[in-house]
């Protein structure tokens, strides 16, 4: 079975002519945002921005460590960004 990162690179990059970049201001803002969180999920998480044919993938966040709090903070920030985009 392919990992998320392998699947992204192998399955998306070539057919969609995608270009991976190391950093993206939206991804950085999203990853560093603050939010109140609660915890309960165990697996590795990656966050990704896709803008036209350019994408950026975050570092791995492990839900089994203190990084669980980062995962929930990032997800809450994403939820708020989606709400703002749809209003």
pLDDT band at 85 (very low <50, low <70, confident <90, very high): confident
Domain that holds residue 65: 4-86
Q: Tell whether the model's pLDDT for residue 80 goes beyond 80.
A: yes
Distance (Å) of CA 36 to CA 7, 19, 22, 52, 71:
32, 34, 28, 31, 11
Banded pLDDT at 10 (limits 50, 70, 90): low
pLDDT on residue 61:
86
The pTM of the full predicted model, rounded to 2 decimals, is: 0.49
The residue with greater pLDDT, 61 or 11, is: 61
Count of domains forming the chain: 1
pLDDT of residue 4: 59
Number of neighbours of residue 30 by Cβ within 10 angstroms? 19
Indicate whether 38 pLDDT > 60. no
């Amino acid at each position: 079975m392919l990992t998320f990162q392998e699947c992204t690179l192998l399955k998306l990059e070539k057919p969609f002519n995608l270009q991976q970049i190391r950093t993206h201001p939206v991804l950085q803002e999203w990853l560093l945002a603050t939010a109140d969180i609660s915890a309960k999920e165990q697996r590795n998480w990656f966050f990704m921005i896709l803008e036209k044919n350019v994408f950026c993938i975050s570092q791995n966040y492990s839900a089994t460590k203190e990084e669980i709090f980062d995962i929930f903070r990032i997800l809450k920030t994403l939820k708020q960004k989606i709400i703002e985009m749809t209003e």
